[in-house]
Amino acid sequence: MGNVPSAVKHCLSYQQLLREHLWIGDSVAASPDPAQASPLLSGLPEDVKIVEVGPRDGLQNEKVIVPTDVKIEFINQLSQTGLSVIEVTSFVSSRWVPQVAAGATEIAVFGAASESFSKRNINCSIEESMEKFEEVVKSAKHMGLPARGYVSCALGCPYEGNITPQKVTEVSKRLYGMGCYEISLGDTIGVGTPGNMRRMLDSVMKEIPSGALAVHCHDTYGQALANILTALQMGISVVDSAVSGLGGCPYAKGASGNVATEDLVYMLNGLGLNTGVNLYKVMEAGDFICKAVNKTTNSKVAQASFRA
């Protein structure tokens, strides 16, 4: 900006600006001349499914223990937002049957594209973990429960550093082959950039249809939305995120973790893509949980919209 005095002048409030969806989404919706349309942002999926991992991935990485009634209220608020998938399970162990009895509708298995990460996290090799998951996924199938597979360290590992796209593909293919309906590829420490996101997806998409893939980007280095955009440009249509960007990074003290659902929805709305999600309601849920855990939101949209 030029010589703008720091005092706020009379202008539209942000609530007003946000409500003017017309001018946020108009540019894509009202594309006049197909011949003029740049091929860059055509080819994006029309519908994007957001998998909300705040109650699980988010809260589990927050220091404050959240009382059950707060968690329930949080999940209830999220259920009003239009989000079609809200992850509430915490982990899968050999004792997952009680969780199923408690009403779980889906299970998740967590693999990794790094031997060191696998060893440190679940105390076994990748191969051993896959054998365990085979049993779990098979049993779940018998009970009519779908299984979602996660691949951690898809763009880098806190112990091994670089992870090859081939390794990610191998692990993903294994999980998909054993019956996982969807594979969520996670940039666990948020080190990825659009270049290696593209290379990794190029490799994985040779073995697994894009319709069965999701990306789970952490915003530790501020790269999440740029990486997600790259994935969308390649045809991925399922994206994981967490309201308020809950959940720090356990590998980098002070660093941020998940990409904020609010900021993701803002981008997808602007791109004219359907999510079925009401941004205001998401912001309200975010405001609720941040007050409950006594922390400031990691969502820039929320920061810009709520009076500090």
Partner 1 sequence: MGALPKQVKIVEVGPRDGLQNEKNIVPTPVKVKLIHMLSEAGLPVIEATSFVSPKWVPQMADHAEVLKSIQRFPGISYPVLTPNLRGFQTAVASGAREVSIFGAASELFTKKNINCSIEESFQHFDSILKAAQADGILVRGYVSCVLGCPYEGKISPAKVAEVAKKMYSMGCYEISLGDTIGVGTPGAMKDMLSAVMQEIPVAALAVHCHDTYGQALANTLVALQMGVSVVDSSVAGLGGCPYARGASGNLATEDLVYMLAGLGIHTGVNLQKLLEAGTFICQALNRKTSSKVAQATCKL
Question: In sequence order, what are the residues at sequence separation of 6 or more whose Cβ sits closer than 8 angstroms to the Cβ of residue 247?
Answer: 54, 57, 58, 59, 60, 61, 62, 257, 258
Q: Enter the tokens of residue 249.
A: 């990074």
Nearer to partner 1, 144 or 254 (CB): 254
202 within 8 A of 165, measured Cβ to Cβ: yes
Nearer to partner 1, 140 or 239 (CB): 239
Contact flag: residue 272 with partner 1 (CB under 8 A): yes
DSSP 143-212: TT--EEEEEE-TT-BTTTB---HHHHHHHHHHHHHTT-SEEEEEETTS---HHHHHHHHHHHTTTS-GGG
Active-site annotation holds for 11: no
* Nearest approach, Cβ of residue 26 and partner 1 (Å): 7
Amino acid at 93: S
H or E stretch covering 127: helix 126-142
Selected binder of partner 1 within 242, 266, 275, 283 (CB under 8 A): 266
Stretch that binds partner 1, among 50-58, 89-97, 170-178, 217-225 (CB under 8 A): 217-225
Nearer to partner 1, 1 or 65 (CB): 1
Selected binder of partner 1 within 178, 217, 231, 267 (CB under 8 A): 267
Nearer to partner 1, 130 or 200 (CB): 200
* Nearest approach, Cβ of residue 307 and partner 1 (Å): 7
Contact flag: residue 1 with partner 1 (CB under 8 A): yes
**Contact positions with partner 1 (CB under 8 A) in 242-261:** 249, 251-256, 260
**Contact positions with partner 1 (CB under 8 A) in 17-76:** 17, 20, 22-24, 26-28, 36, 38, 40-41
**Contact positions with partner 1 (CB under 8 A) in 138-157:** 156
Q: Which strands, in side-by-side order, build the sheet including 213-217?
A: 85-86, 49-52, 238-241, 213-217, 182-187, 147-152, 107-112
**Contact positions with partner 1 (CB under 8 A) in 171-210:** 189-196
